[in-house]
Amino acid sequence: MQTVILKGMPASAKLVYKILAHEGNMTQKELINASLLPERTVRYALDILLRHSLITSEPHFADARQTVYGV
């Protein structure tokens, strides 16, 4: 089901999803470093994935200012 939904998405959203699926939960900063995408692009990709309920978000336990994203 996810692959059908991912087909119509931008490449950045697909990349962020694949990184989360392969590497596990990450913060936005970690995703920026892993993907080598600009911060704004990663934010946009996360927004798309969250709107389609393909990823989850929860507060970072060690630093409440950050959010942890996962599949």
**CATH number of the domain to which 27 belongs:** 1.10.10.10
Sign of CA dihedral 28, 34, 40, 42: negative
Residue with tokens 């993907």: 35
Domain that holds residue 11: 2-70
The pTM for the full model equals: 0.90
Rounded Cα distance between 20 and 45, Å, is 12
CA-CA distance, 46 to 64, in Å (whole number)?
18
What sign for the dihedral angle of Cα 65, 14, 40, 50? Answer: negative
Count structural domains, the chain. 1
pLDDT tens for residues 8-66?
Answer: 899 999 999 999 999 999 999 999 999 999 999 999 999 999 999 999 999 988 888 89
Does residue 32 contact residue 42 with C-beta atoms inside 8 Å?
Answer: yes
